[in-house]
Amino acid sequence: MKTLLQIKSSLNGDDGQSSYLSNQFVQRWKAQHPDGQVVVRDLAANPVPHLDGERFNAFLTPADKRSAQEQKIVDYSDELIAEIKSADVIALGLPMYNFGIPSTLKAYFDHIARSGVTFRYTAEGPEGLLPNIPVYILAARGGIYQGTQADSQTGYMQTFLAFLGLKNTQFIYAEGLAMGEEGKDSALNQAVATIKDSVAA
């Protein structure tokens, strides 16, 4: 049985446009895999704590030297990582806030980037340890940024995910969503059509 991990990072939950697109992806994936399982990680409904000194030090502390609180922190991180390792595909809804990714998504990333667990350094450089499953990034933006210097998301997402071993990424963009209803509808419809083609491929 195949498993899809859906990650929602919109502050507006299911009312967000990136969540709408990721839900469209899930709907079409389920049609292709009726027996498949969907695991939802909603970072608005259940935000991941932002990284602080206590959490960072817990990750660095050897297992046999951790306090009960440190072990609790590591267990939570392990749970997030296990979701990825158990997935066959990831659908990640990505809004753009102030030219960057949501802080809740950055907090999530900080909990899954663990030396010796999801990446390691070798004599040849860093090596990602996560399975290279497909990651579909559903990017919803109020303006038009793709291919411009203002697009800080695409390169960052590709670099970070590849660092962990997730090199099979596909971006599906819906842009200009705040630039009038006609343009918004057109952009969303085009993104949904791309999703349909991507899932069917």
Q: Which regions of 26-180 does DSSP assign to beta strands (E)?
A: 37-42, 89-95, 119-122, 125-128, 135-140, 169-174
Burial call 39-69: b when 16+ CB within 10 Å, e when fewer: ebbbbbeebbeeeeeebeebbeeeeeebeee
| 97 annotated to bind ligand | yes
The C-alpha atoms of residue 186 and residue 138 are separated, in whole angstroms, by 16
| 77 annotated to bind ligand | no
By residue count, the chain amounts to 201
Calculate the CA dihedral of residues 165, 167, 170, 176 and round it to 10 degrees.
Answer: 80
| 99 annotated to bind ligand | yes
| 160 annotated to bind ligand | no
Binding-site residues from annotation for FMN: 10, 96-99
Binding-site residues from annotation: 10, 96-99
